[in-house]
């Protein structure tokens, strides 16, 4: 299974799990990837109706206590490189980079969208995320 396929599956499972836990439709739950430090360390939040619900760790996205497979160690450099590329392409600061992962109504695949701060910028593909592999 490719890294892209695994990432989509992990994100979808997390969105569906948080929707079920909160008894809402899965289209109302989003995952937000952002950074709040100059090292560009990825951070994560669960959003409900595009509003912050709670901050979560990578392990919480995976739904594990310990990541024995080291998936965070593998994913972090790709996410950091994507943040750098988005900053460069959009001429924005690290604090403004927000990538939203969500499920569209009547669709079963995870979609990604890039925001500069709260301003919608562009749709992203998983190819874009992993094109530097």
Q: What is the DSSP string of 60-100?
A: HHHT-SS-TT-HHHHHHHHHHHHHHHHHHHHT--GGGEEEE
Distance of alpha carbon 44 from alpha carbon 40, whole angstroms: 12
In the prediction, which pLDDT does 132 show? 59
What are the tens digits of pLDDT across the range 106-126?
888 899 999 999 999 999 988
Distance of alpha carbon 55 from alpha carbon 35, whole angstroms: 12
Domain boundaries, the chain: 3-130
pTM of the model: 0.91
Q: CB count, 10 Å around CB of 132?
A: 10
What are the tens digits of pLDDT across the range 29-82?
999 999 999 999 999 999 999 999 999 999 999 988 887 777 777 788 888 999
What are the tens digits of pLDDT across the range 83-96?
999 999 999 999 99
């Amino acid at each position: 299974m490719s890294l892209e396929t695994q990432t989509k599956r992990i994100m979808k499972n997390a969105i569906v799990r948080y929707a079920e836990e909160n008894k809402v439709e899965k289209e109302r739950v989003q995952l937000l990837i952002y950074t709040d430090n100059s090292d560009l360390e990825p951070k994560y939040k669960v959003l409900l109706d595009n509003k912050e619900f709670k901050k979560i760790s990578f392990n919480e996205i995976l739904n594990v206590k310990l990541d024995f497979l080291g998936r965070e160690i593998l994913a972090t450099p790709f996410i950091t490189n994507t943040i750098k590329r988005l900053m460069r392409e959009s001429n924005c600061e690290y604090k403004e980079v927000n990538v939203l992962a969500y499920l569209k109504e009547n669709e079963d695949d995870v979609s990604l969208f890039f925001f500069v701060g709260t301003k919608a910028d562009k749709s992203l593909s998983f190819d874009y995320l992993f094109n530097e592999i």
